[in-house]
Amino acid sequence: MKTILITGSNKGIGFKIARQLAKSGHHVILSARNETRLKQAVDKLKSEQLDVEDLLMDISDEKSISHAAIEFAKRKIKLDVLINNAAVLFRNDVSIIRENELLLQTVTTNSIGSLLVCKAFLPFMKNPSLIINISSGGGSMTDPVGGWSPAYCVSKTLLNSITRQLAYELLSKNISVNAVCPGWVRTDMGGGGATRSVEKGAETPVWMAVEAPQGITGRFIRDKEEISW
């Protein structure tokens, strides 16, 4: 049985990952910033007799992250896996020249927020343990630029770079750090026209959390295979 913290898990891919892992007998801590939706998500899984708990945390707010870490310390829990899944994609994300503030907000949540969560929860990570950053093909430096959501894509490129640097920095602590692309998924973020179900989107993150060889680190993964950065 593993203990797994998932940010942004009150809906979408994060919620599906939480449910699948809890159904396999793991203890899952669901986290999000929207308290009502977080409580509803946790209550739903508890009503299915799953072993879950909640942790309120806004990853765009350093104070909220440190409050969450202080609260978490009281619970005397150690983590096998941290999944940085929370992210935003703004509908008016159409130009990084015109929308500087939007770029800043997106990077603050998707990239720096995820890094700050890693930092705050490092004291609770076991040796060995695993960090999974949910990224996107939109952050790839080898795929052609798709012409969609440029601030979001920049934020995922930065998250990928953070993943590689953290993988190096945390080698000595025996913590593996990888980025996972779930594919284009039918969630509030992905929209109804996306090609993948939420189940499919959750499949590789779930595999990375509990089945993939522990030694894999500093990689970008989609559909259980390494892809280029």
Q: Which residues are CB-contacts of 182 (< 8 A; sequence separation ≥ 6)?
A: 13, 134, 136, 196, 200, 201, 202, 204, 205, 222
Nearer to ligand NAP, 127 or 142 (CB): 142
Nearer to ligand NAP, 13 or 22 (CB): 13
The region of 19-27, 75-83, 160-168, 178-186 touching ligand NAP under the rule CB under 6 A is 178-186
Q: Which residues are CB-contacts of 34 (< 8 A; sequence separation ≥ 6)?
A: 10
> Which residue in the list 15, 121, 152, 220 is annotated as catalytic?
152
Question: Residue 150, interface with ligand NAP (CB under 6 A)?
Answer: no
CB atoms within 10 A of CB 164: 17
Q: What Cα–Cα distance (Å) separates residue 143 from each residue in 88, 90, 138, 189?
A: 21, 22, 8, 21
Q: What is the DSSP string of 89-118?
A: --TT---TTT-HHHHHHHHIIIIIIHHHHH
The reply to whether 168 belongs to the active site is no
Nearer to ligand NAP, 28 or 181 (CB): 181
Do 138 and 152 meet the contact criterion of CB atoms below 8 Å apart? yes
Question: Residue 184, interface with ligand NAP (CB under 6 A)?
Answer: yes
The interface with ligand NAP within residues 50-79 (CB under 6 A) comprises 57-60
Question: Residue 86, interface with ligand NAP (CB under 6 A)?
Answer: yes
Question: Residue 10, interface with ligand NAP (CB under 6 A)?
Answer: yes
Separation of alpha carbons 211 and 19, rounded Å = 16
In the list 134, 162, 179, 212, the residue contacting ligand NAP (rule: CB under 6 A) is 134
In the list 3, 20, 106, 109, the residue contacting ligand NAP (rule: CB under 6 A) is 109
Nearer to ligand NAP, 79 or 159 (CB): 159
Most distant CA atoms of the chain, gap in Å: 49
Binding site for ligand NAP (CB under 6 A): 7-14, 32-34, 37, 57-60, 85-88, 109, 134, 136, 181-182, 184-185, 187-190, 194
